[in-house]
Amino acid sequence: MELVLCTRNPGKVAELAALLPASYRVLGPEEVGVSGELPETGDTLEANAVQKARWVHHRCGLPCIADDTGLEVDALDGAPGVHSARYAGADRDAQANMHKLLQALEGRTDRSARFRTVIALVADGGERLFHGAVEGCILTAPRGTGGFGYDPVFAPAGEARSFAEMTAAEKNRISHRARATAALLEHLRGATAG
């Protein structure tokens, strides 16, 4: 089955490609002739995921999936949440985002947080949403060089290491994205069997 991955984020492409079985042929928007910036103007992760997948599906007609992810920090009332990508400015700079987050949490003892991923599937058969989350905490300084985005400052619950200190396979076993992808796969397997 062909699935178009509606993202230009190389970190997401690598993780989703590793999480999907080889029986799925994963294509990027360019490979199906769709170029340009994917729209992402919603107020929620759900709205953004559907918007990106719909936009590409309308242009290529193939089944499309899009991931929208947010980091929700309890001491910041859920911020940066849906605004995670542009938390420190329009250029989506990961270092600047982490720096702003660590400053906002300076001196705070409650550092609990979660990553939440919503994956939208938009195909001729309709639209579906799949959710995944992982609880954890925000470290006091970035650690590790793996992963992408906020991974150096996030340690999943029960782990001393940040996501960026884990191998890709270790992160993929427990991550928000892995959980949302598992729900997507369960649906796709059911749809194929039915």
Binding residues vs ligand IMP (CB under 6 A): 9, 68-69, 71, 84-85, 92, 94, 97, 115, 147-151, 163, 175, 177
Least distance between ligand IMP and beta carbon 103 (Å)? 16
Nearer CB in complex with ligand IMP: 97/181:
97
**Closest separation in Å from C-beta 90 to ligand IMP:** 12
Q: How far is 53 from 109, CA to CA, in rounded Å?
A: 39
The smaller minimum CB distance to ligand IMP, of residues 63 and 142, is found at 142
173 CB neighbour count, 10 Å cutoff: 10
Q: Is residue 162 within 8 Å of 155, Cβ to Cβ?
A: yes
Residue nearest to ligand IMP (CB): 149
Does the active-site annotation cover 74?
Answer: no
Nearer Cβ to ligand IMP (94/113): 94
CB of 144 to ligand IMP, least distance (A): 11
3-state secondary structure 90-144: CCCCHHHHHHHHHHHCCCCCCCEEEEEEEEEEEECCEEEEEEEEEEEEECCCCCC
- Cα gap 18→70, rounded to integer Å: 21
Of residues 43, 67, 68, 124, which has the active-site annotation? 68
Structure tokens given for 102: 């660590």
Closer Cβ to ligand IMP, 63 or 156, answer by number: 156
Instruction: Determine the Cα angle at 66 with ends 60 and 68, to 5°.
Output: 150
Euclidean distance between CA atoms 188 and 194, whole angstroms: 10
Minimum CB distance to ligand IMP, residue 134 (Å): 9
* Active site residues per annotation: 68
